[in-house]
Amino acid sequence: MTSSGEIEQVPDIPKKEAPKKKPSYVADIGFYLLTPILAGVFLGLLADKWLRTKPVLTLAGIGLGTIACFYNLIRILKDE
């Protein structure tokens, strides 16, 4: 407060910027990219064993897992 009773305006304190990338960020990327492919392989192998269609559904699972992997990668990069 000044001597005339007016309130002084205090300048804003600059905020520290948070680090852009956390160590867990790298692990998250690995999880989002590896999980769909592994799930596709696992589910494809189970479906092939159950339906006796040896490589067909495993290859389809790998394909769908790869598509999901690229979708996750694009989504992660758009969030940046």
Is 69 part of a structural domain of the chain? yes
Q: Which domain holds residue 40?
A: 25-79
Which percentage of the chain shows pLDDT scores above 70?
84
CA 10 centroid distance within chain: 41
Structural domains of the chain, count? 1
Question: Tokens 């600059």, residue?
Answer: 14
pTM for this prediction: 0.67
- Please give the average per-residue pLDDT across 43-47, as a whole number: 97
pLDDT in tens, 1-33: 566 767 777 777 777 665 566 667 778 888 989
Asked if residue 68 lies in contact with residue 21, where contact means CB atoms within 8 angstroms, the answer is no
State the alpha helices, DSSP H only, in the chain.
Answer: 23-51, 56-79
Rounded to an integer, the average pLDDT of 67-75 is: 93
Residue 7 located in a structural domain: no
What CA–CA distance (Å, rounded) separates 35 from 32? 6
